[in-house]
Amino acid sequence: MKDCRETESNGGNGNIKRECDYGDRCYRKNPAHFQEFSHQHLHSLLETFERKGLQTLPEDFKAKVSRQTVLEQLNILRSLKSSTSHNTTTDKTQASKLSVGLNETRNVNSENSKPSSSVESSSSEENRKRVQEAQIMDEMMEYVQEMKKRSQGNICEKHKAAAPYYFFLTSVTDSVETHTEPLSLQMFDILDPSLGDLESSLQMNCFVEFGWLMAQYY
């Protein structure tokens, strides 16, 4: 079997993709990221899904990111794969039909073409906003992952070391000394897997940046 990095292409032009540096720790859900980088573990998993007809991850599946993230990533890869396959199998007859359709479109009167332009403009604006939101989310994810690298052990170890008062303060991004302070916590410390699986959470804030908040959970 060929390595998926050899069989994948960027936009169907045959260019080999570089493997994502995060490997099986990749947390991203931006389709543009998967168009640019290869993810060997996800492609192998997708092949297993298709071969066995699976609809969800096996109970004993161990992931280094959340199961929900893996499922969403698989859906992105499946969509990209379907899109690439569709583009590859388009034959001359289909191209001819498309050409006829374009010629018919050119004959549409100007009154009908104006609403069409408006719809296309609206669609383009929506796509631009989605791409922008995805980029912001990626930046937030990357920032939080860097912050997690500074975390000193898991929350259970910190809690034991804080006896007998168990009093903690918030770590501050711009205050370097708080990054390694044993009695300082980041929000993601409270969400540490060592405390068990999180079933649900409720955030009550007068103002919070949504991308930053979501990044804490990955």
- Structural domain spans, the chain: 4-104, 113-218
Cα separations in angstroms, 95 against 84, 86, 91, 92, 98: 16, 13, 6, 5, 5
- On whether the CB atoms of residues 203 and 213 are closer than 8 A, the answer is yes
Q: What is the pLDDT of residue 206?
A: 73
Q: What is the pLDDT of residue 153?
A: 57
Burial class (CB in 10 A: 0-12, 13-18, 19+), 171: buried
Q: What is the pLDDT of residue 164?
A: 92
Burial class (CB in 10 A: 0-12, 13-18, 19+), 80: middle
Between CA 148 and CA 169 the distance in angstroms is 17
Dihedral angle, C-alpha 139, 145, 150, 152, nearest 10 °: 150
Q: What is the pLDDT of residue 199?
A: 83
Residue 150: Cβ within 10 Å count: 12
* Spatial CA neighbour of 44 closest among 35, 36, 32, 52: 52
- Segment-wise mean pLDDT, segments of 10 residues, the chain, 218 residues: 40 68 85 89 87 80 82 87 62 46 46 53 73 72 66 74 89 79 82 79 76 70
Between CA 158 and CA 139 the distance in angstroms is 28
- On whether the CB atoms of residues 187 and 216 are closer than 8 A, the answer is yes
Q: What is the pLDDT of residue 39?
A: 92
